[in-house]
Structure 1
């Protein structure tokens, strides 16, 4: 039994050592305690990549500060906006509403509003 407990503790420590905390503009997602947030997927022009811009009421000096990033300040890639919605479910949010914002004359983008459970 002692060996099993020790093995489980070692595995847990190794898993936590490699874990990356997601953040927006330096604020960890686990530390955001607001009732509503909104997210939108931002597509790369040159590559097949998508990032998630997250707003929770923070001051923003530059639009790039809205991206969800890892501890190394690298933007996290997502498969889609829904992938981002599912990710935020892990942080206690659920989908509340969806609306579209106009990007240009012919293009709209969905914006997802999430509510804390």
Structure 2
């Protein structure tokens, strides 16, 4: 009786289990991260967003060089951190974690974002910083 019950359970597992099929798509997906830092001025309603991808930037220039800019190199002013998150979401970035640090009369908001990419070209898609614009100008002059 035990052997029959064991056989029936084994057969049930066999029939209801699904084998994993090897996908013909051999793309490798990796998760990348960035941090957006929002600073509002004391009297203003807009927020400046700097973005950190882990890029190498001079210590003395790091705040200005990481500011998010449009295609012409003009600083993008966001209405709030949520506005900045929605902007980043358009390019596939997803929220991971947030924290705020008080600096004098101003709160500095740090949001950690992630994105799954299959190639390095996708990493910076749609995002520009002041340093990227200046580097592009330097490359184009040569």
Give TM-score, length-normalised by structure 1: 0.61
Larger radius of gyration: 2
Cα distance in 2 between the residues matched to 1:110 and 1:44: 13
Give 1:111's aligned residue: 110
Q: Residues 86, 56 of structure 1: CA spacing in aligned structure 2 closer, same or farther, 3 A cutoff?
A: same
* Aligned residue-pair number: 84
Cα distance in 1 between the residues matched to 2:101 and 2:34: 16
| Structure ranking higher on relative contact order (CA contacts 8 Å, 6+ apart) | 2
For structure 1, list consecutive stretches of 5 or more residues without a partner in the other structure: 1-32
Whether 1:52 and 2:49 are equivalent positions in the alignment is yes
Whether 1:35 and 2:18 are equivalent positions in the alignment is no
Q: Residues 70, 115 of structure 1: CA spacing in aligned structure 2 closer, same or farther, 3 A cutoff?
A: same
Which structure has the highest strand share of the two?
A: 1
In the TM superposition, residue 43 of structure 1 has moved relative to its aligned partner by: 1.7
Q: Is the 8 A contact 2:35 2:53 kept in 1?
A: yes
Q: Residues 64, 108 of structure 1: CA spacing in aligned structure 2 closer, same or farther, 3 A cutoff?
A: same
| Residue deviations 1:25-49 (CA, integer Å, cap 9, x gap) | xxxxxxxx97000112122346433
For structure 2, list consecutive stretches of 5 or more residues without a partner in the other structure: 1-29, 117-142
In the TM superposition, residue 114 of structure 1 has moved relative to its aligned partner by: 0.4
Give TM-score, length-normalised by structure 2: 0.51
